[in-house]
């Protein structure tokens, strides 16, 4: 009886354990984003926030204004170079751009912090950021506040994420500005 039990244990030890879901998705970074770049299509350069979803090279070529017989391949190659990847597998990946629209000095950058797929819905979490800037050197300290640095811009970020056919949701996680204590 003991040899039979030990033999069964040896057989169980020789069978490979099933991989957990996390190990199967090991190629996906913890934040759910394969690659990112501060690029946006010309259509995003307007007032108001928007997002763009590209699931194939044809739609990307149209957004980039690339025409011709190999426009989809050219657009795919160009965006892959910008993203720093060899190529884009449109069967498994897609590109999403989140654009904040025309903004003043209050916002300099839009950063996508993570992408989560659940129940065939992709949720992109992002923040609008204003970078702290150094004041320019003054010739003399006259006690007046330095002029506000900054200007206008179109903050946006484009990410390469796992392809889904479902909906895309955006969630703004920008920290609330502290209330001023003016009396």
Task: Return the pLDDT at 13.
Answer: 43
Lowest-pLDDT range of 25-39, 150-164, 169-183: 169-183
Tell me the pLDDT of the chain averaged across its residues. 80
Which band of pLDDT confidence, cut at 50, 70 and 90, is reported for residue 149?
A: low
Which band of pLDDT confidence, cut at 50, 70 and 90, is reported for residue 93?
A: very high
Is residue 6 helix, strand or coil? helix
Give CA–CA dist 131/38, Å, rounded: 15
Residue with more model confidence, 23 or 28: 28
pTM: 0.73
Q: Who's near 54: CB < 8 A, 6+ residues apart? A: 60, 63, 94, 95, 96, 97
Q: CA 153: distance to chain centroid?
A: 19
Asked whether residue 61 carries a pLDDT value surpassing 50, the answer given is: yes
Give mean pLDDT, residues 160-177.
91
């Amino acid at each position: 009886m003991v040899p039979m039990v030990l033999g069964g244990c040896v057989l169980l030890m020789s069978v490979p354990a099933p991989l957990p879901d996390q190990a199967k998705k090991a190629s996906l970074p913890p934040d759910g984003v394969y690659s990112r770049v501060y690029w946006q299509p010309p259509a995003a350069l307007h007032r108001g926030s928007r997002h763009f979803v590209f699931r194939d090279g044809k739609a990307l070529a149209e957004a980039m204004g690339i025409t011709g017989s190999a426009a989809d391949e050219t657009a795919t190659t160009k965006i892959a170079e910008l993203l720093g990847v060899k190529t884009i597998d449109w069967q498994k990946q897609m590109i999403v751009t989140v654009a904040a629209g025309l903004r003043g000095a209050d916002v300099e950058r839009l950063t996508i912090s993570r992408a989560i797929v659940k129940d065939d819905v992709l949720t992109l979490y992002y923040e609008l950021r204003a970078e702290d800037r150094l004041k320019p050197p003054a010739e003399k300290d006259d006690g007046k506040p330095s002029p506000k640095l900054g200007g206008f811009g179109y903050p946006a970020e484009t990410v390469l994420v796992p392809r889904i056919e479902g909906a895309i949701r955006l969630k703004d996680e920008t920290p609330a500005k502290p209330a001023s204590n003016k009396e």
